[in-house]
A and B are shown apart, each in its own frame.
Chain A
Amino acid sequence: MAQQGAYYVPHHSVWPIVGSVGLFTTMFGAAHWLNDQGALGRPMFFIGLAVVIFTLFGWFSSVIRESIKGNYNSQVDVSFRMGMMWFIFSEVMFFAAFFGALFYTRVFSVPWLGGEGHGLFTHHYLWDQYAPAWPTNGPGDVGGPFSTVSPWGLPLLNTLILLTSSVTITIAHHALRAGRRKQLLVFQALTVLLGATFLYFQAHEYMEAYEHLNLTLHSGVYGSTFFMLTGFHGLHVTLGTIMLIVIWFRCAKGHFSKENHFGFEAVAWYWHFVDVVWLCLFLFVYIM
């Protein structure tokens, strides 16, 4: 046990190696599964995923236990904050790759396919009938004709939902700092609810797109960028919602004090991050 005031260096921990085995099993299983070896791959994938989830529980439990015991001084707290901050930065860069693909396609490669600028020859020799436009599924009409989702229906509603959830989580945070427990729990629950509603609408929109608009993952580069960007965002909202639920239970159990509640703040940062990503999506994927 570290003496009071010293930087806490934990004891040996089994979780990193268990988590590594879990992640390996998941990925190795997924690779087999994708290559039509589902009999081996599928069980590996799900067992691995279960081990990863088990690891998260175990790992976070030890951290929570140590935190409640008061092992962490303010310097440890700063390390956690930096860890979360740089993790979110890495997530921003992950989305940047997909936004970059979207911008590159719209600004450069689709006009070039249509014969603009220096890409003339692809147009000339392969697809001289192709007139560039956005949205497009390319000169090969990959996936067949499709229509797009109007931004002013569900996407607008979803924007309002996520923006509202950012407000509710901030109110919950203020309540936590002021020690108003009931308000904290209500507004945190409201945030969870808004997150879940967003996901419900998003799932609904996907079904609409597949069933009525013929807008699928196969719909050329528009379908690719649309579903990959909104899909990864939806995945992050799902994770965020799970995190919010965990934090609600931790609030209910009284894990957090007015001064010391970094777990809450980290999740709030993450939630604001998925919110900002959505705003970019709304603007660049749906409206423009």
Chain B
Amino acid sequence: MAHAASQDHHDDHHEAPSGFFRRWFMSTNHKDIGTLYLIFALLMFFIGGSMAMLIRAELFEPGLQLVQPYFFNELTTMHALVMIFGAIMPAFVGLGNWMIPLMVGAPDMALPRMNNMSFWLLPFAFTILLSSFFLPGGAPAGGWTMYPPLSIQGGDSIAFLIFFVHVSGISSIMGAINIIATILNMRAPGMDLLKMPIFVWTWLITAFLLIAVMPVLAGAVTMLLTDKYFGTSFFNAAGGGDPVLFQHVFWFFGHPEVYIMILPAFGIISEIIPTFSRKPLFGYKAMVYATASIAFLSFIVWAHHMFAVGLPLGAELFFMYATMLIAVPTGVKVFNWVTTMWKGSLTFETPMLFAVAFVILFTIGGFSGIMLALVPADFQYQDTYFVVAHFHYVLVTGAAFSIMAAVYYWLPKWSGNMYSERWGKIHFWLSVVSVNVLFFPQHFLGLAGMPRRIPDYNVAFADFNMISSIGGFVFGATQLIFVGVIIHCVFFAKKKATDRVWEGSKGLEWTVPSPAPHHTFAVPPVIDDSQLAHGDVTH
């Protein structure tokens, strides 16, 4: 981006990056690699988004209009894989890469070369995945969850999907190891664990989750691979195996994965709300403990994704109650965000608008989650659009909104320029209205019984589907504004950002110049507790 001009700020002896290939392909710099992650995530957001547009276009009215049913299944499968592994996760890793060393006062990530490999594996992983569209038999179409026997009865694409999972899994594990090592080993003297910014805390716990569950997913898909190509019987009942075993192993990964995609979002929101409320975060320690509790609970709730497969009653009860327990630490968080805003001097710049929308809309997604956690109710809701509405509320108005909030919040620090507040607000208001038009009617569709992953539907569902599709098109088009705001800010904006950028901002990342120089904190900074975002934690 635009910080090449600020080489004179750094005081160690690394040469300035010279040459495009050297700088972007051979980088060991956390800021450049963070930028690469973020650009990649944005690209994937649009690739996954265009699949969503096709899905919504097909569902605009009943009947088959645009695509063949099988291709529709490919679209729903690939949309999920691209958005989860290509957009949301890399965006968070990119934000972590950029901000964690700045927030803890480290010169770079702990293992800078490995950092580069974690990034560069991703474009290759997605080459493997997306190339499957051009295979005979097309892309994977059995859903992103890859349930056997369906997933291994399709064409050649499952091998590509499995190797995609392996490569992107290696990337995630490497990235997570790097983040853990950075946070545990690279903090400036005086940056005690309980003085770290909440974003850093949430990433520490997220990284732990990643290292714990990505290998489990690798194991699950390896069993799929051998079942399909090498004649094993893990998921074949005739051989003594059980298809439901795959679901258990998959969701043992899958549920912590859900929190991998939301904990960093909690961290971002916990940074932004205090800044624009001009108050320290309410209940810093409670936030840390709540995050850790959510992470712990994520390991013992996986079977709530499979209530309808025929689990023993005891298991259904255990997983139902354990799932509902998650509402407690999550409630602590929502309460703390609201009380941080209580009696604060609030202003509503774009990051704050997205953060406030996050608190409200994510909570709606959380409530529908509690509804889904009830076993008898889930028997009605499962596999309907209610589930689709639920996880899009937590992933789009949750995770994706938090990423947008973070980009608006830190973009001035990255680029040295202020983005257009007017266009940022236009982006926000169009997004927040259209996303609700898009997903809220899906609750009603689901409660009325419309199944998910289906290209055609009963005419009774026509009206809400049309409304949802219109919301979808507006939401999709609105994201072009987002790209416009970013490009304008980085390359054309006249208004320079100050070092502090926001009036209420606190923390080490705001003590370095804007744009952040290529190398920061080669000498560890002296920590001044009053400068830290959460204020005095001894209370």
To the question of whether A and B form a pair in one complex, the answer is yes
Chain A residues close to B by CB (< 8 Å): 1-3, 6-7, 9-17, 19-21, 23-24, 27-28, 30-31, 34-35, 59, 75, 78-80, 82-83, 86-87, 89-91, 93-98, 100-101, 104-105, 108-110, 112-113, 117-119, 122, 126, 136-140, 142-143, 217-218, 220-225, 227-228
In the assembly, what is the distance between CA of A7 and CA of B185, in Å? 11
State whether B239 touches A82 (Cβ < 8 A). no
What are 20 sample pairs from A and B whose C-beta atoms fall under 8 A apart? A9-B108, A10-B112, A12-B17, A17-B26, A24-B128, A27-B163, A28-B127, A31-B162, A34-B225, A75-B185, A79-B111, A83-B114, A87-B177, A93-B211, A93-B212, A97-B219, A97-B220, A100-B216, A109-B240, A109-B245
- In the bound complex, do residue A27 and residue B166 qualify as a contact, i.e. CB atoms below 8 Å apart? yes
Q: Are A140 and B239 in contact (CB under 8 A)?
A: yes
| CA gap between A27 and B236 in the complex, in Å | 26
**Minimum Cβ distance to chain B for residue A125 (Å):** 12
Residues in A whose Cβ lies below 8 Å from that of B166: 27
Query: What are the residues of chain B within 8 A of A80 when measuring CB–CB?
Result: 111
Q: Is the interface of A mostly helix, strand, loop or mixed?
A: helix
B196 CB–A CB distance under 8 Å: no
Q: Is the CB of B233 within 8 A of A142?
A: yes
Interface size on B, residues (CB 8 A): 83
Contact status A79-B226, CB under 8 Å: no
Q: Is there contact, CB below 8 Å, between B117 and A94?
A: no
Extra 20 A-B pairs, beta carbons < 8 Å, given A12-B22, A140-B239, A228-B226: A10-B112, A12-B27, A23-B121, A30-B159, A35-B159, A59-B113, A78-B185, A86-B211, A94-B218, A98-B219, A104-B248, A105-B241, A110-B240, A113-B237, A138-B233, A139-B240, A217-B231, A217-B232, A224-B223, A227-B232
The 10 closest A-B pairs by CB, nearest first: A97-B219, A140-B238, A138-B240, A16-B117, A24-B124, A109-B242, A224-B232, A221-B240, A142-B239, A94-B215
Tell me the minimal C-beta distance from B9 to chain A in angstroms: 15
Contact B12 A6 (CB under 8 A): yes
The chain B residues found within 8 Å of chain A, CB to CB, are 12-15, 17, 22-23, 25-28, 106-108, 110-114, 116-117, 120-121, 124-125, 127-128, 131, 156, 159-160, 162-163, 166-167, 170, 173, 176-178, 180-181, 184-186, 211-216, 218-220, 222-223, 225-227, 229-234, 236-242, 244-245, 248-249, 252, 310, 312-313, 519, 522-523
Q: Contacts A20-B124, A138-B240 given: A217-B114 contact, CB under 8 Å?
A: no
Q: In the complex, A28 Cα to B126 Cα: how many Å? A: 11
When distances are taken between beta carbons in the complex, the residues of chain A under 8 Å from B222 are: 228
> Are A6 and B522 in touch, CB under 8 angstroms?
yes
For the complex, what is the distance from the CA of A9 to the CA of B156, rounded to whole Å?
43
Min C-beta distance of A169 to chain B, whole Å: 24
Q: How far is the CA of A179 from the CA of B265 in the complex (A)?
A: 51
Q: A104-B248, A137-B240 are in contact. Are A83 and B111 (CB under 8 A)?
A: yes
Q: Which of B128, B180, B212, B519 contacts A27 (CB 8 A)?
A: B128
- Nearest to B177 among chain A residues (CB) is A86
A59 to B249, CA, bound (A): 34
Query: Which among A7, A82, A117 is the interface contact of B177 at CB below 8 angstroms?
Result: A82
State in angstroms the CA–CA spacing of A16 and B27 once bound together: 9
Docked-complex contact B232 and A86, CB < 8 angstroms: no
Residue contact A93 to B215, C-beta cutoff 8 Å: yes
A192 to B178, CA, bound (A): 31
A7 touches B245 (CB 8 A): no
Cβ contact of B28, chosen from A1, A10, A218, cutoff 8 A: A10
Q: A279 to B167: give the CA distance in the assembly, Å.
A: 29
Nearest Cβ on chain A to B366's Cβ, whole angstroms: 28
Residues of A within 8 A of B229 (CB): 34
Which chain A residues lie closer than 8 Å to B120 at the CB level?
Answer: 16-17, 20
Residue of B nearest to A110 (CB): B240
CB distance from B149 to the nearest CB of A (A): 14
Which residues in A have their C-beta under 8 angstroms from that of B25? 17
Q: Which residues of A contact B522 (CB under 8 A)?
A: 6
Is B13 touching A2 in the complex (CB atoms < 8 A)? yes
